[in-house]
Homo-oligomer: A and B are copies of this chain.
Amino acid sequence: MHILIIGAAGMIGRKLVARLVRDSELAGQQVTELTLSDVVDSPLPEGFTGKTTNVVTDLSYPSNAQRLVSSRPDIIFHLAAVVSGEAESDFEKGYRINLGGSGALFEAIRTEGQQQPYRPRVVFCSSIAVFGPPFAEPIHDDFITAPQTSYGTQKAMSELMLADYSRRGFFDGIGIRLPTICVRPGKPNAAASGFFSNILREPLVGQEAVLPVDESVRHWFASPRAAIGFLLHGASIDLQQLGTRRTLNMPGLSATVADEIEALRQVAGEKAVRLIRREPDERIIKIVDGWPYDFAPERALALGFVAEKSFSEIIQAHIDDELEGRLP
């Protein structure tokens, strides 16, 4: 089985590649070839015995998309995107990459299939950013996509195209709307959502972190490990059962910042909790206020997608996967 991962150098992409190398199979089939693509070099996995190809390319140019697809991978993970903040600050780039990139990929697959029958599976990484207030409580599977950002708009538009191309039989697509990923590994960053991870990740290793919102703020979470599980499960199940609604809200944990802090206390004690510094930030408070926080992802649950059920589990996944199983 030949797997193409577009956006392989990002956080989710790297973890997905590592998992595929570790498992060396997907949906009961051996992974014999990995093509890793991104706008920068993708780390090439160690320990993989199959063929690997690293392609540095900008998907949004149709000829690049055609070249990627011409090797006819069996499964395509489409994770490539300009993040929310950049899509908001650079309007043209956001549309070019996040909408144009998806469009170029989908068209490349369709035209490749016109040469000779070809119908790969496409697993598209979408986001709960497709939703905007006022929200239903919880958000059901038939809730309107009304994004508040250009990023969410571009994801919602790509989802619609994914469904139509799948309905037409050009490929077999599934869209995965990821919850906010927590605990996000790496350094604190400027993303408005960064604090949800910062206030756990930093105190766990004895560092200070800033909390810019009230503890009552509620949000929708899943671990990086759960996110990789969603993508692999989406690559494995029979997609005919989705009908024409090809994008799913993923399961997750609806929890408050207070829930996060309480789980941190249980895992790492009061000492860790004291490393969280309250610094209310009106800009972030306002942004977060427009984010969805509770879902009833009935379709995904029925299809066997699984996420964490408590923040203790989310923290434990972080300790296992990023801290070699123990606190320093």
Contact = CB atoms under 8 A, between A and B. Distances in A.
Question: How many protomers of this protein does the assembly include?
Answer: 2
Contacts of A160: 145, 147, 153, 156-157, 160
A144 B130 CA distance: 11
Interface stretch (A29-37, A163-171, A220-228, A267-275): A163-171
Interface centre among A142, A147, A148, A150, by most chain B C-beta atoms within 10 angstroms, is A142
Contacts of A142: 136, 143-144, 146
Interface residues of A, number: 23
Interface string A116-152: 0000000000000000100010000111111110100
A130 B245 CA distance: 12
A244 B150 contact: no
A161 interface: yes
A144 B164 CA distance: 15
Given A91-B168, A157-B157, A163 B146 contact: yes
Contacts of A167: 148
Given A144-B144, A146-B244, A164 B168 contact: no
Contacts of A150: 164, 168
Nearest to A141: B144
A164 B147 contact: yes
Nearest to A88: B168
Nearest to A94: B164
Interface of A: 91, 132, 136, 141-148, 150, 153, 156-157, 160-161, 163-164, 167-168, 244-245
27 contacts: A91-B168, A132-B244, A132-B245, A136-B142, A142-B143, A142-B144, A143-B144, A144-B144, A144-B145, A144-B245, A145-B145, A145-B160, A146-B163, A146-B244, A146-B245, A147-B160, A147-B164, A148-B167, A150-B164, A150-B168, A153-B160, A153-B161, A153-B163, A153-B164, A157-B157, A157-B161, A160-B160
